[in-house]
A = this chain, B = another copy of it.
Amino acid sequence: MSGIERQTGVALWRQIADEIRAAIGNGDHDDTGRLPTEAVLAARFDVNRHTVRQALAALAREGVVETVQGRGTTIVPRRRVTYPISTRTRFSAGLGGQVAQAVTRLVGVSQESATPELAAQLRLAEGAPLLRLETLGEADGVPLSRAVHWFDAERFAGLPDAYRREGSITRALAACGVADYVRQSTEISAAPATASDRADLALQPGAVVLLTRSLNVDAQGHPIQASHSRFAADRVSLSVATEPGSSS
């Protein structure tokens, strides 16, 4: 069972590159961080050595591995940031300690009318005006997530200006009179990265994104913010603590 298939529209060298990248991501390698030789890989995947070389060349271009003549191919170490999901979910604070600098940048502000789904979530009339903020989450200069946030445009008219002043949604909401809010629900799925994901998050073709749809409510339990986030799955994992007292 070599695992790769022909005539699937994906070139063998790319399938092999994807398998090796996934294996590296799962930590399936010995302590040396050394990949098997090209001849061994060619035998394992049941392809010609040329094909393995093409796969390794692609991974080297991505920066996943490094190949040196006479020495072999070694894995370039990389780590995955864990993003906690709890009642207190906030982007920058959640990454604290794992990275030197976590920032969210505002990349777009617009107004649109509520779809049925968003209206129901935010308890507004269908078609009600919504404020739409697009943000890019980065850690140490590496893009981690792209998100779209929707707010009641009437209640939060001053939010974009506040965001530009304060530099975070939490502080911008505080400036708009929301002293506190909690994450009520999060729905998580995953999908292949789209072309715009690849552009915004600097991903390779074949990469995967983690998708979340979440709702934040204020202290009175009234919904204030609906969000759709897209995380680079090879750089982020989500952590859910399900302890009864997790609200503290």
Contacts and interface: CB of A to CB of B under 8 A. Distances in A.
A112 interface: no
Contacts of A242: 85-87, 89, 182-186, 246
Give the interface size class of chain A. Answer: 35 or more
Interface stretch (A17-25, A64-72, A93-101): A17-25
B13 A11 contact: no
A15 B10 CA distance: 9
A188 B239 contact: yes
A84 to B, nearest CB: 10
A208 B194 CA distance: 13
A189 to B, nearest CB: 4
Interface core residue of A188, A210, A234, A245 (most chain B CB under 10 Å)? A188
B192 A18 contact: yes
A155 interface: no
Contact of A11 (B9, B80, B236, B246): B9
Given A86-B242, A209-B190, A195 B11 contact: no
A10 B13 contact: no
B10 A190 contact: no
Tally of this chain's copies: 2
Please report whether the interface of chain A is mostly helix, strand, loop or mixed according to DSSP: mixed
Nearest to A210: B190
A239 B186 contact: yes
B239 A187 contact: yes
Given A3-B196, A19-B195, A190-B209, 15 more contacts: A8-B206, A9-B11, A9-B54, A10-B10, A26-B191, A182-B242, A184-B243, A185-B240, A188-B238, A189-B236, A189-B238, A190-B210, A191-B234, A206-B206, A208-B208
Query: Which 8 A-B pairs have CB atoms at the shortest separation, nearest pair first?
Result: A3-B195, A9-B14, A190-B190, A244-B247, A189-B237, A9-B11, A190-B233, A188-B238
